[in-house]
Amino acid sequence: MTSPIQSLSKAVTVNDNPFMKPMEWVSLALLAGVVLVVLPLALDGFRLNLVGKYLTYAFVALGLVICWGYAGILSLGQGVFFGLGGYCMAMYLKLEASSVENTKIQSTPGIPDFMDWNQITAIPWFWQPFKSLPLTLLLVVAVPVAFAFLISVAMFKRRVGGTYFAIITQAIAAILTILIVGQQGYTGGINGITDLRTLHGWDIRTDSAKVILYFVNGGLLIGCILMAQYVKRSKLGRILVAMREKEDRVRFSGYSVAGFKVFAFCLAAAFAAVGGAMFTLQVGFMSPSFVGIVPSIEMVIYAAVGGRLSLFGAVWGTLLVNYAKTSFSESFPDLWLFGLGALFIAVVLAFPNGLAGLWREHVEPRLFRKAKGLTPTPTPVLPAHGAPAE
């Protein structure tokens, strides 16, 4: 009885579950090459810093691929976790920038300027942990994840549906924004926490610091992609897909569905938090305009444009949408919202698999045909427009 089975399993090797398929290695190399080599060589310091800012949103999009694409949980409140991570980082930097000498013109020196303006005379208790860098680095991830854990445990244990969860996360994003704006003395209000200077004595405003932070950011992003890839190809990744399709069946295979949903949501929150902290470091401030409903739902479109099931697509989607946003807002500010709105509709109606889907359908088959030496695809001819005019 056992011998034919053993031989059977030896014969079948297609089921092997490698960490990455060849095509995924190519995608990773391509992404790493562009982010870590091509862009730093091609762009000036200002533009590179801008790309660095975009890439911090890619962390959120990456989390959404796991949470929304794989697990089917649409969160419209990812800005909350991006913001919490960013605020945790900003609180540390702000305390360091508010040394007694830097703030000696204030009525209470040694506290952040906005506290002084709001007649607060001592650093409040929840700011205290952010005097320590190691503690801050821990809290950057721990605070958003703990918050995500609380929300998701409360909701998923009670088996609330997807649309309902989306509405509640959106409400939470709205509440947090109103709270931050309203509590000016503790949070810096609508302006956010600004005028950040040094990280443990290292001036983050210099050009060289910005380049270094760009590479740190890029490295962390690749690290998060690899982590997400590990989750995706583990059995947990397949359970998430199974759950998205038939939640009940997963329960009757002996899994506690809520636990897996909580995991996916917390992982997405952790990624978003890292992105938020890197945003603060690279851009030099954090404000409630990155927490609310509008940025949160815009981050969903990054993942959707890239392809909600593709980790690499999420990064490309983020870069593309933000590039379009920046160039449109510079030249035709009125058109941008029309374009973004149309993008939301198009990505739902026409391209539900986003860029990754287009790549798989149109580019990949050609690549493979080429690799096999069959009918090499002709080099694409660039349209000749513009040439004679110049």
Task: Using CB under 8 A, pick the residue from 255, 328, 358, 364 that binds other proteins.
Answer: 255
Which residue is associated with the tokens 């009525």? 107
Phi/psi at 193 (nearest 5 deg)?
-100, 115
Nearest distance, CB of residue 340 and other proteins, angstroms: 6
**With binding defined as CB under 8 A, does residue 249 bind other proteins?**
yes
**With binding defined as CB under 8 A, does residue 163 bind other proteins?**
yes
CA distance 90 to 338: 33
| Token reading at 99 | 């040394």
| Token reading at 287 | 């404000």
286 DSSP assignment: B
Counting Cα atoms < 13 Å in the Cβ hemisphere of 100 gives 1
Contacts of 78 (CB under 8 A, 6+ apart): 60, 63, 64, 268, 269, 272, 296, 299, 300
Nearest distance, CB of residue 254 and other proteins, angstroms: 4
Residue 116, phi-psi category: left (phi > 0), alpha (psi -120 to 50), beta (remainder): alpha
Contacts of 343 (CB under 8 A, 6+ apart): 301, 305, 321
| Residue closer to other proteins (CB basis): 20 or 343 | 343
Task: Using CB under 8 A, pick the residue from 235, 362, 372, 385 that binds other proteins.
Answer: 235
**With binding defined as CB under 8 A, does residue 331 bind other proteins?**
no
**With binding defined as CB under 8 A, does residue 337 bind other proteins?**
yes
**With binding defined as CB under 8 A, does residue 257 bind other proteins?**
yes
**With binding defined as CB under 8 A, does residue 361 bind other proteins?**
no
**With binding defined as CB under 8 A, does residue 45 bind other proteins?**
no
Scan residues 10-29 and list those touching other proteins (CB under 8 A).
12, 14-15, 17
**With binding defined as CB under 8 A, does residue 251 bind other proteins?**
yes
**With binding defined as CB under 8 A, does residue 234 bind other proteins?**
yes
The SS3 of residue 203 is strand
Task: Using CB under 8 A, pick the residue from 345, 371, 374, 384 that binds other proteins.
Answer: 345
Nearest distance, CB of residue 121 and other proteins, angstroms: 21
**With binding defined as CB under 8 A, does residue 156 bind other proteins?**
no
| Residue closer to other proteins (CB basis): 94 or 261 | 261
Scan residues 186-225 and list those touching other proteins (CB under 8 A).
none
Contact call for residues 322 and 303 (beta carbons, < 8 A): no
| Residue closer to other proteins (CB basis): 48 or 303 | 303
Task: Using CB under 8 A, pick the residue from 238, 366, 369, 370 that binds other proteins.
Answer: 238
CA distance 61 to 312: 10
Nearest to 62 by CA among 291, 190, 224: 224
**With binding defined as CB under 8 A, does residue 31 bind other proteins?**
no
Binding segment (CB under 8 A) for other proteins, from list 20-28, 98-106, 345-353, 378-386: 345-353
Contact call for residues 184 and 115 (beta carbons, < 8 A): no
Nearest to 61 by CA among 229, 277, 290, 275: 275
Nearest distance, CB of residue 328 and other proteins, angstroms: 12
Scan residues 47-76 and list those touching other proteins (CB under 8 A).
68, 72, 74, 76
